Amino acid sequence: MRSACRRKVLAVAILLAQQEEDEERARGRRRRVWVHPINLQRREQGDYHNLVAELRLDRQRHHRYFRMSAEQMDHLLSYIGPEFTRQSTNFRTAIEPKQRLAVALRYLASGDSLWSLAFSYRLGHSTVIQSVHMVYAAIERLMMEEFLPIPSQESWTEVARGFWEKWNFPNCIGAIDGKKVNIQAPANSGSQFFDYKHHFSIVLMALVDADYRFRAIQVGDFGRSSDGGVFASSDMGKGLESGTLHVPPSATLPGAPERCSFPSEDIPTTAISCL
């Protein structure tokens, strides 16, 4: 389940980046200068050294711009920054990891094109593409196992305990729902991503614990797909059906052991009728 989710998360995250990169290559444009004169003014006029520096003084605006606080951004950088740290040379000053992370997070938060980010940050288009790829690959490689591991029977039991203690709901191992995330229609995709709200979208399906923390995800299905259909074809759904997700065995209801044995289950939306 984890490996499949990894592939889908990365595929969705860099879909537009890859598309722009392919289009640029197809044009066959040759680079005329090592660094464009406009980009030489990066420190004086680029967004990172000016706007982003100011945003760190305003918590609300920083969160609106990056969808995370400055502290969270620094914490993320401490995990992955060394993965894309580069040494400066006599010919070029290396882009610092903080700036690469800022570009990648802004790309996710805004949906701006890579060219738009290249202009506002005074970076080369290829540098922006490279930064996006570097950051996403580092997140997947260094953080997936720690923050989204394959669930064990012990972790499911812990989740069930949380639902009982916090929400008074017994034998529950997660709350699950799907969210349609609007996107620009990929080239030559037809109506596959066109949903019932008349938007182009992909589906993010998530299983969360009693504290709203992700325990399993499925992302990247076509927007036209229903929640039930996405779940049935997902690794989560197949794993629950086949019994390979290490779900705890049936247990008696708390406070009523004489009543019956009650299986651990998910709290589904009405669209996921199979649970």
Measure the CA–CA gap between 31 and 118, rounded to whole angstroms. 15
pLDDT at 261 > cutoff 60:
no
3-state secondary structure of 86: coil
pLDDT, tens only, 9-41? 555 556 656 666 666 555 555 555 567 777 677
pLDDT at 71: 97
Split at pLDDT 50, 70, 90, the class of 1 is low
pLDDT at 245: 85
Measure the CA–CA gap between 210 and 225, rounded to whole angstroms. 27
pLDDT at 156 > cutoff 90:
yes
Measure the CA–CA gap between 80 and 136, rounded to whole angstroms. 10
pLDDT at 165: 94
Please provide the average confidence, as pLDDT, over all residues in the chain: 83
pLDDT at 101: 96
Measure the CA–CA gap between 257 and 253, rounded to whole angstroms. 6
pLDDT at 63: 97
Q: What is the DSSP secondary-structure string of 16-64?
A: HHHHHHHHHHHHTPPP--SS-GGGGGHHHH-TIIIIIHHHTT-HHHHHH
* 113-141 average pLDDT score: 93
